[in-house]
Amino acid sequence: MEENYEHKAMDQVYNIITQGRGSDVSKEMKKTIIQTLIDYYDALEEYEKCGNLKISLEMLEILDDNNSSEEIR
């Protein structure tokens, strides 16, 4: 039986990102990881995961925008 370790690893990272764990990872690193996962799952046509990841990416960008506007004040 051949194991697909790449897919298992990507699924594990997906679970970490979408379940809010991995808070010790920088926002820029999270954005890079999320975009890589979106590209990966898009190629596999796993669109539900892509949608969830896009929401996570949008939330990070909103948080960045909020932090930037607070720093200006």
Number of domains the chain contains: 1
Decide which of 67 and 72 is more confident.
67
pLDDT tens for residues 26-40? 888 889 999 999 999
Residue at 3 is within a domain: no
Residues 6+ apart with CB under 8 A from 49: 14, 37, 41
Does residue 1 surpass a pLDDT of 90?
Answer: no
Residue at 47 is within a domain: yes
Q: Which helix (H) or strand (E) holds 56?
A: helix 47-72
pLDDT tens for residues 8-31? 999 988 888 888 765 677 888 889
Find the domain containing 45 and state its range: 24-67
Residue at 11 is within a domain: no
Residue at 72 is within a domain: no
